[in-house]
Structure 1
Amino acid sequence: MNVTPASPLNRLWTLALGTLRPPPGAARIALALAYGLLCHIVFGLAVLAMMSAMFFGMSESFGRVPAPWSVLANIALIVQFPAVHSLLLSSHGSRFLAKLAPMGHGKTLLTTTYAIIASIQLLAIFAFWTPSGIIWWRAEGTGLVLICAIYTLSWLLLIWASFDAGAEVQSGALGWMSLMQKIRPVFPDMPTRGLFRVIRQPIYVAFALTTWTVPVWTPDQLGLALGLTLYCLVAPTLKERRFARRYGDRFAAYKHRVPYAFPTLRRVKHHDE
């Protein structure tokens, strides 16, 4: 008998309902709430910083490193994100993350801790970038309206893909909500629904799209877009290796029928896993 997996929204709703009625344990609950509050505040700040900074083509930020060191500082900001992000996804990185929470709750809070660090990394890029002061092109009039609509659509695609992959994991909520309920975190199954029917890496593709659909173009924005797009095309190969080990033939079949990053016109019959 085939069992239909719960939708991402249903999983998040179930997790949230359980969080409202946590088992006793004042210290555990306080720790979970503290991590959750920190996670979502930093996550929100990182998203707002990214949206606003790229809207102005990285021409408005708080970085003030003098030239020519500003170029090296900006490159370092770009490189630190994929380097640390990918390292923490490795087995060694997971063991390190598991040590970053007190009271022996590191493993439970793994996804929350990871989201906090990733959010701080993103916030660093967009808050501390040193603008070059050069603006190549700025959209105006009807073009500005059109590009703003496309920019908004790119962000909506990123949000959609994140929900398809499991919003509780992508936002870091899985860890602290599981700790609140005193349960072991249960990760969503291999995503194959929604945008994952079209391509295997919709989150990375949507993330890259946000860097190319901005209304202001500068040397800063071009460098950022090239660097993060390269990461978005290469990094998922490491993720797919982990999926291949975890899901075996299921992932092999999914990989065979769904393209990596670019949709194809060929009509493919999909079977839900």
Structure 2
Amino acid sequence: MNADTRRLTLALMFGAVCHGSFAIGVGLMMYHLFFGLSHGWGAVPWPYAGFANLVLLLQFPVIHSLLLTGKGREILALLGPDKRLSTTLFAMIAAIQLALLFAFWTPSGIILWQATGVAFWLMCTLYAASWGFLMLAIVQSGFQLQSGMLGWFAMARGRDPKFPDMPTRGLYRIIRQPIYAGFALTLWTMPTYTPDQLVLAVIWTGYCVIGPLHKEKRFSNIYGDRFRNFQKRVPYWLPFPRKSRDDKA
């Protein structure tokens, strides 16, 4: 096997594992959130299940945030056979983290609220809309980057990854962090509410509010005044209208 064939084979293998992991992780998240984590497959006995669930709950935001730091990106570049796979590995790791959480969560067995009748279909509609919002935000921010395709596809072509420009169109005209907002919406719009779901929703919503601050600092360093002007023009997380200078005068 020559070098080009080996490179292409490795790239395709990493791409297949990445997108397979992505589909499984997101699929498990969609399924288990819909039922308020009441259908989790974990079997840790209580009260130890509380600690096990907490570890599963925190591992995603902690590792996800660490891998987004400069040191984390250096580690990602060293994990694979080619540094161009770092974005692919990042998406793969995130997907595996989601799969672990939702597959091995031990449910409390308590149902706080179960929508029925019209309320059930209303919540189903809101849940589907939340996922639609999240997927649209992912596409508009650069689908290749967010899905992990950017790295393995660049390696397969023998080129360096070309990162997408700072997103400013579509949902990014309304708020600066639509991915985090959409992610949070999926945590609150299911037709089944449980203590499990509420703990997850509260902690992860907090992460969705605080987590992007590091991303904004990184964007400010990369794009400079262009991003700072974007910050002044577009709200952070909620679509509250910004006052113009004339309004403040």
TM range (shorter): over 0.9
- Scaled by the length of structure 1, the TM-score of the pair is 0.87
- Listed one character per residue, the Cα deviations across residues 224-261 of structure 1 (whole Å, up to 9, x for unaligned) are 10011011000000000100110110011000010000
Partner of 1:154: 130
Contact preservation (8 Å) 2:233, 2:242: no
Larger relative helix fraction:
2
The correspondence for 2:239, drawn from 258, 263, 273, is 263
1:78, distance to aligned residue in structure 2 (A): 1.2
Partner of 1:168: 144
Which amino acid in the other structure matches residue 160 of structure 1?
Answer: L
Give the secondary structure class of the aligned counterpart of 2:108.
coil
The 2-side partners of 1:46 and 1:267 are apart by 40
Give the secondary structure class of the aligned counterpart of 2:166.
coil
The 1-side partners of 2:42 and 2:22 are apart by 20
Paired residues, number: 242
- Listed one character per residue, the Cα deviations across residues 94-121 of structure 1 (whole Å, up to 9, x for unaligned) are 111111112xx1x211110101101111
The 2-side partners of 1:166 and 1:243 are apart by 15
Structure 2 residue 106 is matched with structure 1 residue 130: yes
Partner of 1:4: none
The 2-side partners of 1:150 and 1:61 are apart by 22
Partner of 2:247: none
Contact preservation (8 Å) 2:111, 2:194: yes
Structure 2 residue 219 is matched with structure 1 residue 243: yes
1:267, distance to aligned residue in structure 2 (A): 8.3
Partner of 2:160: 184
- Scaled by the length of structure 2, the TM-score of the pair is 0.95
Partner of 2:189: 213
The 2-side partners of 1:141 and 1:231 are apart by 33
Give the secondary structure class of the aligned counterpart of 2:84.
coil
Q: How does 1:38-117 map to 2 (within 5 A)?
A: 38-102=17-81, 105=82, 107-117=83-93
**Once superposed, what is the RMSD of the aligned Cα atoms?**
1.1
Identity across aligned pairs (percent)?
50
Unaligned runs of at least 5 residues, structure 1: 1-23, 269-273
1:129, distance to aligned residue in structure 2 (A): 0.4
Give the secondary structure class of the aligned counterpart of 1:76.
helix
The 1-side partners of 2:231 and 2:221 are apart by 13
1:266, distance to aligned residue in structure 2 (A): 5.2
